[in-house]
Amino acid sequence: MNGDKKPCNNTSMKNAPRLLAVLLVSISLSALLASCIDIVADVEINNDGSGSIRLAYTAARALVNMGTIDEEDRFYAVPISEQDFLNSAEKIDGLSLRTFDLKEDVDNLQIEAVLDFDSVEALSALFSSSGPGAVDITTEGGVTVYRQVIYGGSGEEIDDESRDFIETFFSEYSVVFSVDAPAEIKAVNLGEFSRRAANLRLAITDILLSPQPVVWEVRW
Protein backbone atom coordinates (compact mmCIF):
# COMPACT_ATOMS: atom_id res chain seq x y z
CA MET A 1 0.00 0.00 0.00
CA ASN A 2 2.99 2.24 -0.32
CA GLY A 3 3.35 4.78 -3.10
CA ASP A 4 1.38 7.73 -4.36
CA LYS A 5 -2.31 7.79 -3.51
CA LYS A 6 -5.16 9.55 -5.18
CA PRO A 7 -6.31 12.52 -3.08
CA CYS A 8 -9.72 12.36 -1.47
CA ASN A 9 -12.33 14.45 -3.22
CA ASN A 10 -14.62 15.78 -0.50
CA THR A 11 -17.38 16.88 -2.85
CA SER A 12 -17.65 13.49 -4.52
CA MET A 13 -17.54 11.68 -1.20
CA LYS A 14 -20.31 13.80 0.25
CA ASN A 15 -22.50 12.77 -2.67
CA ALA A 16 -21.67 9.07 -2.38
CA PRO A 17 -24.33 6.94 -0.63
CA ARG A 18 -22.27 5.98 2.41
CA LEU A 19 -20.05 3.64 0.42
CA LEU A 20 -17.52 3.46 3.23
CA ALA A 21 -20.02 2.07 5.68
CA VAL A 22 -19.61 -1.45 4.34
CA LEU A 23 -15.88 -1.47 4.95
CA LEU A 24 -15.48 -1.83 8.65
CA VAL A 25 -14.66 -4.63 8.98
CA SER A 26 -13.68 -5.84 9.41
CA ILE A 27 -13.39 -5.58 11.42
CA SER A 28 -7.67 -8.00 8.86
CA LEU A 29 -10.83 -5.01 10.37
CA SER A 30 -4.53 -4.17 9.80
CA ALA A 31 -1.69 -2.27 8.04
CA LEU A 32 -3.36 -0.48 5.21
CA LEU A 33 -2.42 3.17 5.45
CA ALA A 34 -4.32 4.77 2.61
CA SER A 35 -5.39 8.35 2.11
CA CYS A 36 -9.14 7.81 2.47
CA ILE A 37 -9.64 4.76 4.63
CA ASP A 38 -8.12 1.27 4.94
CA ILE A 39 -9.05 -1.48 7.33
CA VAL A 40 -7.46 -4.61 8.78
CA ALA A 41 -9.22 -7.04 11.12
CA ASP A 42 -7.40 -9.84 12.95
CA VAL A 43 -9.68 -12.28 14.77
CA GLU A 44 -8.39 -14.85 17.26
CA ILE A 45 -10.91 -17.50 18.30
CA ASN A 46 -10.81 -19.94 21.21
CA ASN A 47 -12.51 -23.34 21.41
CA ASP A 48 -15.39 -21.93 23.45
CA GLY A 49 -16.18 -19.17 20.93
CA SER A 50 -14.54 -16.39 22.91
CA GLY A 51 -11.55 -14.49 21.61
CA SER A 52 -10.24 -11.11 20.55
CA ILE A 53 -10.22 -8.86 17.52
CA ARG A 54 -7.60 -6.32 16.57
CA LEU A 55 -8.81 -3.51 14.34
CA ALA A 56 -6.33 -1.19 12.65
CA TYR A 57 -7.04 1.46 10.07
CA THR A 58 -6.11 4.90 8.83
CA ALA A 59 -8.78 7.54 8.29
CA ALA A 60 -8.24 10.84 6.53
CA ARG A 61 -9.06 13.91 8.62
CA ALA A 62 -11.13 15.20 5.70
CA LEU A 63 -13.38 12.14 5.99
CA VAL A 64 -13.70 12.38 9.76
CA ASN A 65 -14.49 16.08 9.62
CA MET A 66 -17.53 15.34 7.48
CA GLY A 67 -19.17 13.83 10.53
CA THR A 68 -18.44 16.53 13.07
CA ILE A 69 -21.50 18.68 12.39
CA ASP A 70 -24.11 16.04 13.15
CA GLU A 71 -22.77 13.32 15.44
CA GLU A 72 -26.09 11.48 15.24
CA ASP A 73 -25.78 11.05 11.47
CA ARG A 74 -22.08 10.88 10.73
CA PHE A 75 -20.82 10.09 7.23
CA TYR A 76 -18.32 7.54 8.48
CA ALA A 77 -19.39 4.30 10.17
CA VAL A 78 -16.11 3.27 11.77
CA PRO A 79 -15.20 4.11 15.38
CA ILE A 80 -12.59 6.86 15.52
CA SER A 81 -12.09 7.80 19.17
CA GLU A 82 -11.59 5.65 22.25
CA GLN A 83 -15.04 6.77 23.37
CA ASP A 84 -16.52 5.43 20.11
CA PHE A 85 -15.11 1.99 20.95
CA LEU A 86 -16.26 2.22 24.56
CA ASN A 87 -19.75 3.13 23.36
CA SER A 88 -19.81 0.11 21.03
CA ALA A 89 -18.61 -2.19 23.79
CA GLU A 90 -21.23 -0.85 26.18
CA LYS A 91 -24.02 -1.60 23.71
CA ILE A 92 -22.90 -5.18 23.04
CA ASP A 93 -23.16 -7.79 25.74
CA GLY A 94 -19.93 -9.73 26.11
CA LEU A 95 -17.68 -7.19 24.39
CA SER A 96 -14.96 -5.13 26.10
CA LEU A 97 -12.20 -2.80 24.97
CA ARG A 98 -8.74 -4.01 25.98
CA THR A 99 -6.44 -1.45 24.37
CA PHE A 100 -6.74 1.64 22.19
CA ASP A 101 -4.08 3.65 20.39
CA LEU A 102 -4.41 6.76 18.25
CA LYS A 103 -1.64 8.41 16.27
CA GLU A 104 -2.21 11.63 14.39
CA ASP A 105 -0.51 13.68 11.74
CA VAL A 106 -1.63 16.61 9.64
CA ASP A 107 -3.66 14.54 7.20
CA ASN A 108 -4.50 11.21 8.85
CA LEU A 109 -5.59 9.43 12.02
CA GLN A 110 -4.13 5.97 12.64
CA ILE A 111 -6.37 3.91 14.91
CA GLU A 112 -5.65 0.54 16.48
CA ALA A 113 -7.84 -1.18 19.04
CA VAL A 114 -8.08 -4.64 20.58
CA LEU A 115 -11.45 -5.84 21.82
CA ASP A 116 -12.26 -9.04 23.69
CA PHE A 117 -15.47 -10.96 23.06
CA ASP A 118 -16.85 -13.80 25.18
CA SER A 119 -19.03 -15.32 22.44
CA VAL A 120 -19.42 -15.47 18.68
CA GLU A 121 -22.66 -13.53 19.10
CA ALA A 122 -20.73 -10.60 20.57
CA LEU A 123 -18.26 -10.64 17.67
CA SER A 124 -21.11 -10.82 15.18
CA ALA A 125 -22.84 -7.89 16.85
CA LEU A 126 -19.66 -5.83 16.55
CA PHE A 127 -19.45 -6.47 12.82
CA SER A 128 -23.16 -5.96 12.28
CA SER A 129 -23.21 -2.62 14.06
CA SER A 130 -20.34 -1.41 11.91
CA GLY A 131 -21.79 -2.38 8.56
CA PRO A 132 -20.00 -5.31 6.93
CA GLY A 133 -22.23 -8.18 8.01
CA ALA A 134 -22.25 -10.88 10.63
CA VAL A 135 -20.25 -13.86 11.86
CA ASP A 136 -21.36 -17.32 12.91
CA ILE A 137 -19.61 -20.56 13.78
CA THR A 138 -21.20 -23.97 13.29
CA THR A 139 -19.90 -27.46 13.99
CA GLU A 140 -21.15 -30.60 12.27
CA GLY A 141 -19.51 -33.97 11.79
CA GLY A 142 -16.39 -32.85 13.57
CA VAL A 143 -15.86 -29.89 11.20
CA THR A 144 -16.17 -26.31 12.46
CA VAL A 145 -17.03 -23.55 9.97
CA TYR A 146 -16.35 -19.86 10.61
CA ARG A 147 -18.58 -17.85 8.28
CA GLN A 148 -18.31 -14.09 7.88
CA VAL A 149 -20.52 -11.97 5.65
CA ILE A 150 -18.14 -9.26 4.55
CA TYR A 151 -20.65 -7.48 2.33
CA GLY A 152 -24.30 -8.25 1.75
CA GLY A 153 -24.12 -7.42 -1.95
CA SER A 154 -25.79 -4.60 -3.81
CA GLY A 155 -28.55 -6.90 -5.12
CA GLU A 156 -28.24 -5.37 -8.57
CA GLU A 157 -25.68 -3.98 -10.96
CA ILE A 158 -24.07 -0.73 -9.83
CA ASP A 159 -25.03 2.35 -11.85
CA ASP A 160 -22.32 3.99 -13.95
CA GLU A 161 -21.92 7.02 -11.67
CA SER A 162 -21.37 4.91 -8.57
CA ARG A 163 -19.05 2.55 -10.46
CA ASP A 164 -16.94 5.47 -11.67
CA PHE A 165 -16.72 6.84 -8.13
CA ILE A 166 -15.65 3.49 -6.67
CA GLU A 167 -13.10 2.77 -9.38
CA THR A 168 -11.66 6.28 -9.17
CA PHE A 169 -11.13 6.45 -5.42
CA PHE A 170 -10.68 2.83 -4.35
CA SER A 171 -8.86 1.10 -7.21
CA GLU A 172 -5.59 0.88 -5.24
CA TYR A 173 -7.05 -0.09 -1.89
CA SER A 174 -7.82 -3.40 -0.23
CA VAL A 175 -9.17 -4.82 3.00
CA VAL A 176 -7.35 -7.57 4.91
CA PHE A 177 -8.98 -10.13 7.19
CA SER A 178 -7.30 -12.85 9.25
CA VAL A 179 -8.51 -15.61 11.54
CA ASP A 180 -6.41 -17.50 14.07
CA ALA A 181 -8.32 -20.72 14.73
CA PRO A 182 -8.09 -23.02 17.78
CA ALA A 183 -7.19 -25.99 15.53
CA GLU A 184 -5.50 -26.79 12.23
CA ILE A 185 -7.40 -25.19 9.36
CA LYS A 186 -8.57 -27.61 6.66
CA ALA A 187 -9.96 -25.32 3.97
CA VAL A 188 -11.05 -21.80 3.04
CA ASN A 189 -13.32 -20.68 0.22
CA LEU A 190 -11.31 -17.49 -0.33
CA GLY A 191 -7.77 -16.43 0.50
CA GLU A 192 -5.08 -18.74 1.87
CA PHE A 193 -4.21 -20.59 5.05
CA SER A 194 -1.31 -22.21 6.86
CA ARG A 195 -1.69 -24.34 9.96
CA ARG A 196 -4.03 -22.38 12.25
CA ALA A 197 -3.99 -19.04 10.41
CA ALA A 198 -6.19 -17.96 7.48
CA ASN A 199 -5.77 -14.70 5.57
CA LEU A 200 -7.87 -12.91 3.01
CA ARG A 201 -7.11 -9.74 1.06
CA LEU A 202 -9.90 -8.24 -1.02
CA ALA A 203 -9.83 -5.24 -3.31
CA ILE A 204 -12.32 -2.67 -2.11
CA THR A 205 -13.59 -2.24 -5.66
CA ASP A 206 -14.42 -5.95 -5.89
CA ILE A 207 -16.38 -5.75 -2.64
CA LEU A 208 -18.38 -2.65 -3.45
CA LEU A 209 -19.14 -3.65 -7.04
CA SER A 210 -20.38 -7.12 -6.16
CA PRO A 211 -24.13 -7.65 -6.67
CA GLN A 212 -23.86 -10.90 -4.70
CA PRO A 213 -22.91 -11.29 -1.02
CA VAL A 214 -19.20 -11.58 -0.30
CA VAL A 215 -18.82 -14.39 2.26
CA TRP A 216 -15.66 -15.85 3.78
CA GLU A 217 -15.64 -19.39 5.19
CA VAL A 218 -12.83 -20.97 7.18
CA ARG A 219 -13.03 -24.66 8.14
CA TRP A 220 -11.12 -26.49 10.86
Beta bridge partners of 202: 175
d(CA 22, CA 152): 9
> What is the rounded distance in angstroms from the CA atom of residue 126 to the CA atom of residue 130?
6
What pLDDT, on a 0 to 100 scale, did the predictor assign at position 218?
Answer: 97
Residues paired with 102 in a beta bridge: 111
**Above 80 in pLDDT, residue 69?**
no
Q: Is the pLDDT at 83 greater than 60, yes or no?
A: yes
The pLDDT mean for the chain works out to: 77
Supply the pLDDT for residue 212: 86
- Rounded to the nearest 10°, the torsion over CA 34, 12, 163, 36 is 10
**150, 27 Cβ separation under 8 angstroms:** no
Per-residue pLDDT tens digits for 149-199: 888 877 777 788 878 877 877 777 778 899 999 999 999 999 999 999 999
Write down how long the chain is.
220
Lay out the sheet containing 187-188: strands in order across. Answer: 135-140, 143-151, 214-219, 187-188
pLDDT tens profile 57-68: 887 776 665 544
Q: How far apart are CA 71 and CA 96, in angstroms?
A: 23
Phi, psi of 39 (to 5 degrees): -135, 140
Q: What is the pLDDT of residues 109-155, one digit of tens each?
A: 889 999 999 999 999 988 875 444 489 999 999 999 999 988 887 77
- Please give the Cα distance from 25 to 71 (Å, whole number): 21
Whether 209 has a pLDDT exceeding 70, the answer reads: yes
- In this structure, are residues 34 and 205 in contact, taking their beta carbons and an 8 Å threshold? no
Q: How far apart are CA 53 and CA 97, in angstroms?
A: 10
Q: Where are the domains of the chain?
A: 10-219
